[in-house]
Amino acid sequence: MDRTNHRSSNVVALAAVFTAAVVALGYVLLGFIPMALFALGFLGGLLLWIFIPAEVPFAAIRVPYFLCLALFVLHKLEERYLDFFPALSRLTGVPVPVEGSPLAILLYAFAGMWLLIPWLVGREHAFGYFLAWTFFASMGITELVHFVFPFFTGGPYGYFPGMASVLPLAPIAWWGMWRLAFGRDFMRDRAA
């Protein structure tokens, strides 16, 4: 039985609720603009998952997944140590979220679900493919807004915290999306 294309209404509902929760939490913690950015990755990932059925083994996305994950950690460190959230707060007028608040922890827990991708995709679970699409869409689409933020700083175009690590992160995520969409062909050609 093909479990990847068999998305029960319960799994689709769970994915939709998960997406809505992340987007709503982004709004509560960070305001409208960051919420809209979260929506790009999570709603985009949901739509990609619905319209591009992934039937790939985890081996097809293993390398882009782990490279993306490592680069995402570096990206979060760059944002943290170069004050991304204070810079974003200056743009949006929304105060920096309190570290360690229950809502901030919940937002990180939602992102932490991406760590389940190897296990879930390895078992061909539909929710795992949903998470994989949101992960790669968030890294490959949403993170590109770091290059848009400098236009709104009021000064000349320049570095915005998080920008440098997006340069290698986004293309690796695009590779991951390609492998999700066409990885079955890649794995078949590789075996031939």
pLDDT digits (tens, 9 = 90+) for 135-161: 999 999 999 999 999 999 999 999 999
Express as a percent the part of the chain with pLDDT over 90. Answer: 70
178 versus 6: the higher-pLDDT residue is 178
Residue 12 CA to residue 10 CA, distance in Å, equals: 6
pLDDT confidence band for 191 (50 / 70 / 90): low
- Mean pLDDT over all residues of the chain? 90
Residue 3 has what pLDDT?
Answer: 45
Provide the CB-side half-sphere exposure for 11 (13 A, CA). 18
Q: Which of 53, 70, 52, 73 is nearest to 62 (CA)?
A: 70
Residue 58 CA to residue 41 CA, distance in Å, equals: 21
Q: Are 14 and 127 in contact (CB under 8 A)?
A: yes
Q: Are 53 and 165 in contact (CB under 8 A)?
A: no
pLDDT digits (tens, 9 = 90+) for 97-129: 888 889 889 988 999 999 999 999 999 999 999
Residue 126 CA to residue 6 CA, distance in Å, equals: 8
Lowest-confidence region among 2-16, 78-92, 105-119: 2-16
Encoding tokens for residue 15?
Answer: 């994915």
Q: Angle 126-140/163-191 helices, nearest 10 degrees?
A: 140
